[in-house]
A and B are shown apart, each in its own frame.
Chain A
Amino acid sequence: MAEEKKLKTLATGDKTIPPEGAKMIPIYIMGREYVVPETLTIMKAVEYAGYSYVRGCGCRGGICGACGTFYRFIGDYRLRSGLACQTVAEPNMIIMQLPFFPANRPGYDLEKMQSAPHEELRRLYPEVFKCVGCGTCTRTCPMDIDVMDYIALMKRGDLKGAAIKSFDCVMCGLCASRCPAQISQFTAAMFVRRVYGKYILPKAAHVKKRVDEVRSGKYEKMLDELMSMKQEDVKKLYVEREREPDLAEAGKWMPKDTKNL
C-alpha cells in the first residue's frame, strides 16, 4: 500500500510541480503580462499562462530547433535569444518566439556535384562570401556555436572545419534572422556537412565489405537457421554469447567462435 502511494507522487506527466513555496514572477508574452511560478522554462511558463502550442514546439528537449526565442528584460537594451524549451523564464522577460523564418535553400544533387565542393558552395551560396564579420550570428546562437567562425571557415575553403564547427546546429534559424548580409548560415552549413560526410570524411571500407556480403545472401541462411530453431536452443545460444570486451579495438577483436561471422 505504501508503495502504491509513493508511486503516485511520481505520477505527474509533463505538468510541472513548482517546488513548494515557489515564487511567482511576471513575464511578458509578446508584451502581455502573465504571472508564473519561477524556475519554469519559457515553454512551460507559456503553457502555464494558458497558451497551447501548435507552432514553436517540437521535441521539448533542445534538439529540434522549433522554439527559437528572442527576449529582452524591461529596462535593458540588450536583445537576447534562446530556445524556449531550454531557457528558464526570469522576472520581467519580454518574450517573442520565432517559430519560422524564411531561409534561402537552393536545391542540389549530392550525387552529381558539378565542381569541387568549395566551388559548389560558392555557386549555391554566393552570399556566404559577403559576410561582414559583425558577429551577430555568434551572439545569437542558442547552441553557443561560433557561427561567424564557421562562415569564415567556409570562405577559406576549410569545409572540414566548417562541418565540425557547425555540427551542433539545431537549425532554429535565429542566426539568419539577424544577419545584415542576409546569409542563411544554417542551410549553407547543412550543405557543407553533407559534402564533408560524403566526399571528405574517409569511407568505411569494412561497411562496404559487409554490404557485399549481405547482398550476396550470406547471412540469410544463418538467420533462417536461427528462425527455425526451437526457442530453448536460441535461448541457449543467447546465454552463451561471447561478449566483446569494452576496451577492445574496433576491427581487431575476434570471437573464439568464428563460424557465424
Chain B
Amino acid sequence: MSGYTTVLSELIKKAEATRPARMEKARKGEHFPALTMEQRQQWLKKYHPDYKSDGRRKLLIGPNKGMELPEEVASLIESRSRLNTKAVDLKKADYETDLLVIGAGGAGTAAALVAQELGLKVLVSTKLRHGDSNTVMAEGGIQGATQEGDSPYFHYLDVIGGGHFSNAPALAAALTNDAPLIINWLEDLGMMFDKAPSGRMKVRHGGGTCRKRMHSSGDMTGAEIMRVLRDEARNRDNDIKMLEFSPAVELILDSAGKAAGAVLYNLETKEYYVVRAKAVVVATGGFGRLHIQGFPTTNHYGATADGIVMAYRAGAKLQDLDSTQYHPTGAIFPEQNVGLLITEKVRGLGAQLLNVDGEQFCFPLEPRDVESACVIRECLDIGKGVVTPTGRFGVWLDSPMIDLLHGEGTVRKELPAKYIQFKRYDIDISRVPMLIYPTLHYQNGGIQIDEWSRTGIDGLFSAGEVAGGVHGRNRLMGNSLLDVLVFGRRAGLKAAEYAKSAKTGSPLSLKHVEDFNKEIEAAGIRSTGVSPILLPDYAPDHVKARQIV
C-alpha cells in the first residue's frame, strides 16, 4: 500500500479507526480545546527547547555581554574572524557603490529594488545564487489585513499576542500597517496570487490568527515571491549588480565609525574583495544550519548566522537571539525527508495531530512554540509518540482529513509540492497520514533595529530574519515573508535617503575586527574555529579522519 513499514502501517490503522468520529466533530466546527494562557506558559517552560538551561551560555564580550544564547550561537560570535585583516588593502576598493546589500533573499532583493528606484547604484553580495535562501522555501503564505472584516488593528493583536507580548510594538505596528501595501506591490509586480474569479484574494487562517488573512500562491508562496523579485532585479541589472558566490565576511567601517562597505570572499577563487559603499544593508537571513541542540532544520544551506557575527563585531546590538522557533511539523519519516517542513497550511485545512493511539492531544492551530511543546510533551513525557525505524519520535498529521473535509483532490491541488515529495517514497498523503516532529525553523531574534530598519550604527541597516524584535519571541506563520518585504523596503528607502545626505568618504577601517579579536583573547575565550562559517560542514567522520588539511 505505501512506503511505510509494516509496523507503521499497522499503527496507521489506529488513526483510521478514530477518524470517522473526528470528522463528524470537525464538520460541526468542534475543536480540541485550546490551552489557556496559563497552560501555554506552563507547557512552554516544561517542554520547549528554548527554556532549557543546558546548551546555553552567556556572551562574554561585546555590546550584549551577559546575554544568554544557545551555545552554538555564542561560540560563533566569540570566534576569531576568518579574515586576516593585515592582508587586506583598504586603500584600494575593488568595487565602489552607493549601496551594498548583503544577502539576496527576499529582504535583500526588496531593499535593492527600492534603493534603485530612488536612484542608487546597488551592489549585492550573496553567498549562493540569487534567491537561494529561506525565502524561496516558504510555502504557506503571507499575511496582510486586506479583507473588509479585518484591519491592521487585529493583525497587530495577533502578532503581539502570538509573540507573547515581547515584540517591539513599533516594529509590529510598522509590519501590520504596511502589510496591505506589500500585497499590492507584489500584485503589481505580477505575482500569481491565489484568487477567486472576481479577483478577490483567497485567504486562510494560520496558527494564532483571528481573521483569515493568509495570502498564498499554491504551496510555493515564497518561491513565487522570490522568482518575481529576482526577475525584476534582473530587469534592472544596469543599476543592480549581483555578485553570486561572494559572501561578505566582515563589515568595513570608516574612521568615523560609520558603515562603509564590506570585505567579500569569492568562494570559488578564494579571493577577497574590498567594497566601498555609502550605506550597507545586512539581510543575510537566519541560522537554521547551526542545528541548535542538534535539531534537524528546514532552512536552506546558507543559513549560518553570518550577518549576526559581522554586525556584532561592528558594534550592533542583538535582541531575543536566545529564542528559536521550532516548527511543530517537520517530517520525521522517511529518513530522506527528515527536517523537511510540512506547512501549517495542512493544519489550516483541517488535518489533526494524533498520538500513537490515534487520539488527538492538542488544538492543531496553537501558536507554533506552544504546538511544538505539545508534540514534545506527547512523545517524551506522556510516552505516546510513534517510533520510526531510525529511532526518531513522531506523531501523526492526519492529512487524509483534508480531502474528506474539502472534497476529493484538495490535497493535490492545495499541496502539490508536499504531495510529490512524499509520493516519491510511495506515501500518498491524501490517503495516509504523515509522521512529524518539531524541526528548527526560524531565528526569532537578531540584530536590533528600529521601525526604519536602522541598527544604531550610522549607515548600517538590517532587515529580514537576521533582524530581531518584529515577532518578539515567537513568530506566526505568514508574518515573516511579510516582515522581510516590509523592512527590506524600509531599509532600501532609508539607506537611499542616508546615502544621498550623509558625509561619506573617510578612510576605511577594519579596526573593529582587530579589537574584537583582542577582546576574545583578553576574555580568555579559547576559540578553536573562525567565523563567519559561511557553509555548514557535513563531511562524515570517516572522511574527516582522512582529510589532510
Task: Please give the residue numbers on chain A whose beta carbons come within 8 Å of chain B beta carbons, in ascending order.
Answer: 3, 6-20, 39-41, 44, 47-50, 52-55, 57-64, 66, 86, 88, 105, 107-110, 143-144, 163, 167-168, 170-171, 190-191, 193-199, 201-208, 210-211, 213-215, 219-220, 222-224, 226-227, 231, 234-235, 237-239, 241-248, 250-251, 253-255, 260-261
Contact = CB atoms under 8 A, between A and B. Distances in A.
Nearest to A17: B390
Given A14-B536, A204-B193, A7 B210 contact: no
Given A10-B295, A14-B339, A227-B169, A261 B183 contact: no
Given A52-B538, A214-B152, A203 B335 contact: no
Contacts of B212: 244, 246, 248, 250
B398 to A, nearest CB: 16
Given A62-B417, A204-B146, A235 B165 contact: yes
A226 B173 contact: yes
Contacts of A190: 227, 231
A60 B301 contact: yes
Interface in B205-236: 205, 210-212, 218, 220, 223, 227-228, 231-232, 234-235
Interface of A: prevailing SS = loop
A214 B341 contact: no
Given A54-B267, A63-B137, A222-B152, A10 B393 contact: yes
A241 B132 CA distance: 38
A10 to B, nearest CB: 6
A210 B148 CA distance: 8
Interface in B516-545: 535-540, 543
Contact of A208 (B184, B190, B547): B184
Interface of B: 29, 37, 128-129, 131-133, 136-137, 145-154, 156-158, 160-161, 165, 169-170, 173, 176-178, 180-181, 183-184, 187-193, 195-203, 205, 210-212, 218, 220, 223, 227-228, 231-232, 234-235, 237, 245, 267-268, 289, 291, 293-298, 300-302, 334-336, 338-341, 350, 379-381, 389-393, 416-417, 420-421, 424-425, 437, 535-540, 543, 547
B234 A254 contact: no
Contact of A86 (B298, B424, B535, B543): B424
B395 to A, nearest CB: 13
Given A9-B392, A64-B300, A207-B184, A227 B173 contact: yes
A261 to B, nearest CB: 5
Given A10-B294, A64-B300, A201 B195 contact: yes
B209 to A, nearest CB: 8
A144 to B, nearest CB: 7
Given A15-B540, A50-B543, A223-B152, A206 B201 contact: yes
A223 B129 contact: no
A223 B543 contact: no
Contact of A58 (B199, B301, B391, B540): B301
A105 B230 CA distance: 12
A226 B156 contact: yes
B223 A63 contact: yes
B269 to A, nearest CB: 11
Which of A195, A215, A238 has the most C-beta atoms of chain B within 10 angstroms of its own C-beta? A238
Nearest to A105: B234
Nearest to A238: B161
B53 to A, nearest CB: 13
A215 B338 CA distance: 44
A218 to B, nearest CB: 9
20 contacts: A8-B294, A12-B294, A54-B268, A63-B137, A64-B133, A64-B300, A108-B235, A194-B191, A194-B228, A201-B192, A202-B197, A210-B146, A220-B177, A226-B156, A238-B158, A238-B160, A244-B210, A245-B29, A254-B149, A255-B149
Contacts of A246: 29, 205, 212, 350
Which of B148, B289, B295 has the most C-beta atoms of chain A within 10 angstroms of its own C-beta? B148
Contacts of A226: 153, 156-157, 160, 169, 173
Contacts of A237: 157
Nearest to B176: A223
A227 B338 CA distance: 41
A105 B308 CA distance: 35
Contacts of B161: 234-235, 238-239, 241
Contacts of A211: 180-181, 184
Given A194-B189, A219-B177, 5 more contacts: A8-B294, A17-B391, A54-B245, A194-B190, A219-B151
Which of A54, A206, A207, A223 has the most C-beta atoms of chain B within 10 angstroms of its own C-beta? A207
Nearest to A226: B156
Given A52-B539, A219-B151, A219-B153, A61 B203 contact: no
A19 B335 contact: yes
Contacts of A14: 289, 291, 296-297, 339, 536, 538
Contacts of B340: 61
Contacts of B237: 107
A116 to B, nearest CB: 16
Given A11-B293, A52-B537, A223-B173, A63 B197 contact: no
A238 B538 contact: no
A214 B200 contact: no
B147 A251 contact: yes
Given A204-B201, A207-B183, A234-B160, A194 B336 contact: no
